[in-house]
């Protein structure tokens, strides 16, 4: 394993230990109504044999579960036994290509990969609901089913019909009635293919041809529309097949394309509007909603895509300066123009405080106007994500920001959980997995969502590597396993 020297390098160090229903010591008091389960995924194994993964996004996935009941919390973790994981363990080396890691070290191996490509199913990005099931997701259309109680892997989710594509998103949307996602089919004629899920049955909603597909990590949703945002990090699809290079290194930053928005009607699949703005890059959409004849699209914008290279493991472990946060930015897309022509629009910065891993009151405010967004922030340029921030938006005044931080602690995504009887948008708690580098362990942090006052923490006896996303699920019915 490469030597880790940075202050927060422990967060990028392999965790091998698996535990089941381990009672955690709780300091403070958990809300009595918090009786569900927080399920998260993230990279936890960064080497296989003598080979090391290149990028934070590459490590083999591990599930983490925090169960709440009667004021107590129990912790479980388990590697996802994906085909990527099982093949790597069997061969004693990295078996499948990942985001920025190429396992084919020989010319023969590269040639065979062209004729028999194996997409990764290393679901280390998110835990969400797709086709009516809780699944772990990565950026290929290979969701992994698992038992939400035992975390045992059950294999890939099978859709009701084949939806062709090699690339997808780990951030599907739901409006309470239907689920939405997309795949990208790469080829001589490439296609963005949006699909809808209704009661576990999938159908294609829209197909959009594209010559040079963009790297998109997420997409937007309002009450009536879906939004594909193409950033000028684009690829020649044939290079993905014949270059012999890791996936993301085939993409090129081409700012002359600008940032292109395509708005799709959720009911008909028709293109309702197009817009173009100056070039930027983004991992995460925050929200989208309709107001005054326009669609407002909020996302976290970087000026370019250099953040991808900054998140290489060698840089992160060495403590090199990295800025993993971005600017909350709004784009206003007119809905009264011709959908065949892209209108030029300008970005609007909503807040001077930079954040990442954004969360909102999704169940009640997704696709609607909203006031609160929470995220992980950075206190100083030579640090990492060490702050939790609450941004309150206002139509008549500048945004206000509240933060939580503790020395030597590095915070993960703050997952919002609404109080069941609460009416306000911030009436609930935030759940975040935090690394305490001084103790060499992690803890689950519970904050009041309105004030960011600490309500409780539950200590884990080992470190939890920095992960990405997860969700809180209401009490699960064991009889429905």
Task: Report mean pLDDT in 10-residue bins for the chain, 481 residues.
Answer: 70 98 98 97 97 97 97 98 97 94 58 56 96 94 96 93 92 96 94 94 96 97 98 92 85 98 98 98 98 97 98 95 95 91 96 97 97 96 94 94 98 97 95 98 98 98 98 69 32
Q: Is 462 annotated as a binding residue?
A: no
Which is nearest to 226 in space by CA: 213, 236, 212, 216? Answer: 216
What's the pLDDT at 388?
98
What's the pLDDT at 105?
52
What's the pLDDT at 5?
63
What's the pLDDT at 298?
98
Exposure string over 349-388, b if 16+ CB within 10 A, otherwise e? ebbebbbbbbbbbbeebbbbebbbbbbbbbeeeebbbbbb
> Where do runs of H (alpha helix) occur along 144-263?
237-242
Which is nearest to 155 in space by CA: 85, 210, 255, 258? Answer: 85
Does residue 14 contact residue 44 with C-beta atoms inside 8 Å? yes
Q: Is 64 annotated as a binding residue?
A: no
Q: Is 469 annotated as a binding residue?
A: yes
Query: Which DSSP letter does residue 420 get?
Result: T
Judged on CB neighbours under 10 Å (0-12, 13-18, 19+), 188 is exposed
Q: Is 463 annotated as a binding residue?
A: no
CA distances from 49 to 52, 107, 409 (A): 8, 21, 31
Query: Which DSSP letter does residue 66 get?
Result: E
What's the pLDDT at 282?
98
How far apart are the C-alpha atoms of 396 and 383, rounded to whole Å? Answer: 33
């Amino acid at each position: 394993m490469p030597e880790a020297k940075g202050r927060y390098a422990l967060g990028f160090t392999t965790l091998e230990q698996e535990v089941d229903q381990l009672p955690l010591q709780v300091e403070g008091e958990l809300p009595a109504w918090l009786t569900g389960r927080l399920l998260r995924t993230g990279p936890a194994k960064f080497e296989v044999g003598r080979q090391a993964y290149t990028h934070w996004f590459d490590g083999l996935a591990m599930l983490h579960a925090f169960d709440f009941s009667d004021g107590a919390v129990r912790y479980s973790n388990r590697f996802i036994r994906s085909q990527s994981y099982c093949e790597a363990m069997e061969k004693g080396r990295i078996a499948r290509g990942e985001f920025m890691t190429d396992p084919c070290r020989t010319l023969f191996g590269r040639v065979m990969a062209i004729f028999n490509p194996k997409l990764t199913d290393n679901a280390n990005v998110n835990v969400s609901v797709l086709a009516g099931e809780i699944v772990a997701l990565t950026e290929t259309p290979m969701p992994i089913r698992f038992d939400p109680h035992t975390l045992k892997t059950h294999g890939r989710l099978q859709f009701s019909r084949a939806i062709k594509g090699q690339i997808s998103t780990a951030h599907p949307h739901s409006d309470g009635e239907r689920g939405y996602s997309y795949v990208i089919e790469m080829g001589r004629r490439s296609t963005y293919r949006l699909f809808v899920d209704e009661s576990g049955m999938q159908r294609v909603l829209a197909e959009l041809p594209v010559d040079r597909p963009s790297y998109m990590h997420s997409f937007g949703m309002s009450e009536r529309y879906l939004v594909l945002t193409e950033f000028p990090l684009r690829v020649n699809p044939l290079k993905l097949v014949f270059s012999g290079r890791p996936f993301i290194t085939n993409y090129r930053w081409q700012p002359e394309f600008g940032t292109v928005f395509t708005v799709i009607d959720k009911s008909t699949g028709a293109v309702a509007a197009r817009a173009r703005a100056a070039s930027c890059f983004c991992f995460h959409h925050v929200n989208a909603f309709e107001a005054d004849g326009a669609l407002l699209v909020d996302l976290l914008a970087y000026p370019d895509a250099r953040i991808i290279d900054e998140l290489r493991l060698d840089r992160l472990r060495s403590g090199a300066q990295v800025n993993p946060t971005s600017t909350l930015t709004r784009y206003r897309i007119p809905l009264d123009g011709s959908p065949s022509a892209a209108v030029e629009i300008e970005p609007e910065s909503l807040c001077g405080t930079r954040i990442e891993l954004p969360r909102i009151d999704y169940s009640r405010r997704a696709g609607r106007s909203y006031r609160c967004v929470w995220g992980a922030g950075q206190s100083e340029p030579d640090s990492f994500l060490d702050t939790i921030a609450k941004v309150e938006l206002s139509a008549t005044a500048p945004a206000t920001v509240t933060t939580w931080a503790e020395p030597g602690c590095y915070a993960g995504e703050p997952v919002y959980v609404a109080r069941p009887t609460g009416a306000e948008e911030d009436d609930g708690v935030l759940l975040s997995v935090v690394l305490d580098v001084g103790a060499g362990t992690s803890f689950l942090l519970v904050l009041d969502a309105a004030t960011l006052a600490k309500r409780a923490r539950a200590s884990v006896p080992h470190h939890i590597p920095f992960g990405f996303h997860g969700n809180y699920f209401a009490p699960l019915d064991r009889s429905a396993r």
